[in-house]
Chains A and B, each alone.
Chain A
Amino acid sequence: MMETSVQYAWIIAILPFIAFALIGLFLHRWPRLSAALSILAIGIAFLISLLVSLAVFSSEGNLVYEAAARWLSMPGLQVDMGILVDGLTAVMLIVVTTVALLVQIYSLGYMHGDPGFASYYAYQSFFAGSMLGLVLANNFGQIFVFWELVGLASYLLIGFWFGRNSAKEAAKKAFITNRVGDFGFLLSILFLQILFGTLNFNGLAGEIAGYTNTGILIGIAILMLAGPVGKSAQFPLHVWLPDAMEGPTPVSALIHAATMVAAGVYLIARAYFIFSSTPQALLAIAVIGGFTALFAATIAIVQNDIKRILAYSTLSQLGYMVMAMGVGAMTAGMFHLMTHAFFKSLLFLGAGSVIHALHDEQDIWKMGRLAGKMPVTTWTFVIGALALSGIPPLSGFWSKDEILLGAYASGHIGLYILGTIVAFLTAFYMFRLIFVAFFGSGEGGLKAHESPAVMSVPLVILAVMAIIAGFVGSPLMNNVFAHWVSYPGAVHHNPSLGIMAVSSLVAVAGIILAWAVYQKKMVDVAAVKTRFNGLYQLLYHKYYIDEIYQWLIDHLIDGTAKVLFWFDVYVINGLVNGIAALTGMAGQVLRYTENGQVQTYAMYMFAGIIVIIGLVMMAGFAIVL
């Protein structure tokens, strides 16, 4: 039963699309029915994903299934639509369907009473279908199509409350920033098609293994990496992710924490057969990832909006994943993707629970004393924060540790130190949030009440996942995860107790510092802020990156537009109008030949006859009768 279920894996992606179509076309007038259909679709998809994944996992990751149908056939170009199911796919299927299902159930409570309830579920189904299609794709063309579709879904969901101007702007920013990255991705796909004639993953893996021109491969790799830089919000295309918090919190949990932003990391993993031959591209992405991790963590420590803190935390963790990919620890990166999906979505849903209870209050300084009124939310949130900070034996500890081990053991000591510093900062800002919002002395929490079961049960389930999901990649289960997800030529490092100890200590130190500063008030925060005001402003304004981009757009892009506009008006219009004017002038001159005198016309006629006689004579027309 499990083995044959793999053949039906394509249904996983189709079901949510069917739900989307039905809701969009027919059922949107009945919101509860739409929600039920959407949850049903993702639920069935989840069950089939379970079967498929169990089939793959029970074969120690050796089961690889591929099926394709020819979609487009032209001379020199064949494009297939197909699915590829292996260990990597199975892991992603579990992650996406689990989180999507829990988020959709949670949304029943969170979005209750919203006038766009049915559309919300339609878009959720659309997103789920696109993401699952992306994960199941067996060739670059198909993955690109679904890549763009998830971008579209993100746009629709960020701008869901389209009455709000900030939401509209954020949606546009997300889509456009993504497009910049997608441009590089598309170019790389085109190069692959031109050079190798196929976009199929397995086909390309075979071809690239024997390809010797590394310069071109590096170029393709770097172009392809532009996609994840955009989609997974790495520096410098990170600017859209914090703004994406304008969308409903379940959307932030699903798309901008667990799944869509992970698509970039998934792409790197899937295309690792290209990257493993281009160490320079890998180094570049490792540096970008590490830098993003540090960059985002420093911004997170001064933010006041609960969702912003979590957004920058996501940026930072994505940096970790990308850095892992860059140092050759592809397995560790995917492992962290999986654990991060669970505890980050938990954190976001918990934040949503708080926001919902406080009637859309998002400033942590206006919260406080939530622990008493919202116990389930509080303690699941704490579990999530502990997992994120990397406290053993929670899931985050195992995955973050694998990454740090990979960085250290492959010789990237600088990145290892950077990762350790970020771990410290992560613990610090997360527990700053917790001590201020949940255990703080603010008065906001007094009017809160715990969320309904439909919202708190998913929190509990995710908390359980956050605790236990890490064991599949730990030495306790012999790192069976590495059997599921790995690439040829992967180097396995033995777990190092030293690194485990250091990372745990660093995390605990961060928590203690946060407790000291924000709970016990041993440091006067206001005084620190005033003394380091320049640094504080820099961090609070996200290093002014948005302002720089705005300046660049105003001057470079609009400037170029003005130049081209001038060109269009004066040169091109000038040419077109010039031809018309030329015809007019020719007419003005030639009309003087019409002098009304018939004899003049007769003269022109005879002149023509002379020319004809001349031509006939020259052609040697000696007529022999």
Chain B
Amino acid sequence: MIDLTAYLLLGTVLFGIGVYGVLSKRNAVGVLMSVELMLNAVNINFIAVNKFVASSQVIGQLFAIFIIVVAAAEVAVGLALILAIFRQKKSVDLNDFNLLKW
């Protein structure tokens, strides 16, 4: 009974929650964490499809590994950026970062 559609829908729900976090959090680190959620959701999709649809080779899992690699790198650099900004503005509240306002 639990088949591909269930896994995919689970991934979709996680993705939706992540989107909500990205759009509504004021803390920059909070936004980054929500991005991680979205990436995890995508990983679930890849691996589920690998198992149920194209299971001769483990290409889905391979792709998921690469996503994990990129996500890790992105978190590192993103947090470094946040640290740098914090040093300047003494705040990580996204409401304060509107220098490109009209």
Are A and B in contact, CB atoms below 8 Å, in the complex? yes
Alpha-carbon distance A606/B23, docked complex (angstroms): 9
A-B contact count (CB 8 A): 31
CB distance from A297 to the nearest CB of B (A): 84
Contact yes or no, B31 A599, CB < 8 A: yes
- The yes or no answer to A598 lying at the interface (CB within 8 A) is yes
| A603-B23, A625-B53 as given contacts; A598 in contact with B101, CB under 8 Å | no
Q: Which of B17-33 contact A (CB under 8 A)?
A: 19, 22-24, 31
List chain B residues, Cβ under 8 A from A598: 94, 97
Report the Cα distance A591→B100, complex, angstroms: 11
Do A594 and B101 touch (CB < 8 A)?
yes
Considering the chains assembled together, what is the distance between the CA atoms of A603 and B20 in angstroms?
Answer: 10
* A4 within 8 A of partner (CB): no
Task: Tell me the bound Cα distance from A592 to B31 in angstroms.
Answer: 24
In-complex Cβ contact of B22 among A592, A595, A596, A602 (8 A): A602
In residues 60-102 of chain B, which contact A (Cβ within 8 Å)?
A: 94-95, 97-102
Closest to A603 in B: B23
Confirm or deny: A597 has a beta carbon within 8 angstroms of a beta carbon on chain B.
yes
How far apart are the CA atoms of A592 and B98 in the complex, in Å?
13
Task: Please state if A596 and B23 are interface contacts (CB–CB under 8 Å).
Answer: no
A 581-617 binary contact with B (CB < 8 Å = 1; else 0): 0000000000110111111001100100000000000
**Which of B24, B31, B53, B100 has a CB less than 8 Å from the CB of A596?**
B100
How far apart are B52's CB and chain A's nearest CB, in angstroms? 11
How far, in Å, is B32 (CB) from chain A's closest CB?
12
- Flag if A596 contacts B94 (CB, 8 Å): no
When C-beta atoms are compared, the residue in chain A nearest to B54 turns out to be A625
Number of interface residues, chain B, beta carbon within 8 A: 14
A391 to nearest B CB, angstroms?
98
Please report whether the interface of chain A is mostly helix, strand, loop or mixed according to DSSP.
Answer: helix
B74 smallest CB distance to A (angstroms): 15
Give Cα A598–Cα B32 distance, bound, in whole angstroms: 13
- Cα A595 to Cα B97 in complex, Å, equals 10
Q: Is the beta-carbon distance between A597 and B94 smaller than 8 angstroms? A: yes
By a CB distance below 8 angstroms, the chain A residues around B99 are 596
**B100 with A599: CB separation less than 8 A:** no
**Chain A residues in 8 Å Cβ range of B101:** 594-596
Q: Classify chain A: how many residues form its interface, as a range.
A: 10 to 19
B67 vs chain A, min Cβ distance (A): 19
Query: Among the listed B19, B22, B53, B98, which residue makes an inter-chain contact with A597, where contact means beta carbons less than 8 Å apart?
Result: B98
Residue of B nearest to A601 (CB): B100
A625 CB contacts on chain B under 8 angstroms:
53
CA separation between A424 and B97, bound complex, in Å? Answer: 105
- Residue of A592, A602, A603 near B102 (CB, 8 A) is A592
Compute how far the CA of A598 lies from the CA of B95 in the bound complex, rounded to whole angstroms: 10
CB within 8 Å of A: which of B22-51?
22-24, 31
- Collect the chain B residues with CB atoms within 8 Å of residue A606's CB: 19, 23
Are B98 and A599 closer than 8 Å at their CB atoms?
Answer: no
By the criterion CB–CB under 8 Å, are A599 and B23 in contact? yes
B19's nearest neighbour on chain A, judged by CB, is: A606
A161-179 contact mask (Cβ, 8 Å, vs B): 1 or 0: 0000000000000000000
Contact A594 B100 (CB under 8 A): yes
The docked-state distance in angstroms from the alpha carbon of A602 to that of B23 is: 7
A596 and B19 contact, Cβ closer than 8 Å, known pairs A591-B102, A625-B53? no
Instruction: List A contacts of B53 (CB < 8 A).
Output: 625
Report the bound CA distance from A602 to B25 in whole Å.
12
Nearest-neighbor residue (CB-CB) of B31 within chain A: A599
Instruction: Name the B residues within 8 Å of A594 (CB-CB).
Output: 100-102
Q: How far is the CA of A597 from the CA of B98 in the complex (A)?
A: 6
Closest Cβ–Cβ distance, residue B25 to chain A (whole Å): 8
Across-interface contacts of B31 in A (CB, < 8 A)? 599
Determine the chain B residues whose CB is within 8 A of the CB of A595 once the complex forms.
98, 101-102
A603 proximity list for chain B (CB < 8 A)? 23
Instruction: Select one of A591, A592, A599 contacting B94, CB under 8 A.
Output: A599
A593 to chain B, nearest CB (A): 9
Q: Smallest distance from the beta carbon of A617 to chain B beta carbons, Å?
A: 14
Distance from A504 Cβ to chain B, minimum over Cβ atoms (Å)? 100
Tell me, in angstroms, the Cα distance from A599 to B23 when the chains sit together.
5
Complex formed: what's the CA distance from A591 to B102 in Å?
Answer: 6
Contacts of A557-597 to chain B: CB distance below 8 A: 591-592, 594-597
**CA gap between A567 and B22 in the complex, in Å:** 56
| Interface pairs (10), CB distance under 8 Å | A594-B100, A594-B102, A595-B98, A595-B102, A596-B99, A598-B94, A598-B97, A599-B31, A599-B94, A602-B23
Residues on B facing A (Cβ under 8 Å): 19, 22-24, 31, 53, 94-95, 97-102
List the 8 closest pairs (A to B, CB-CB), nearest first: A596-B98, A596-B101, A591-B102, A596-B100, A594-B102, A603-B23, A599-B23, A595-B101
Knowing that A594-B101, A598-B97, A599-B31 are A-B contacts, what are 7 other residue pairs whose CB atoms are under 8 Å apart, sorted by A's residue number? A594-B102, A595-B98, A595-B102, A596-B100, A599-B94, A603-B23, A606-B19
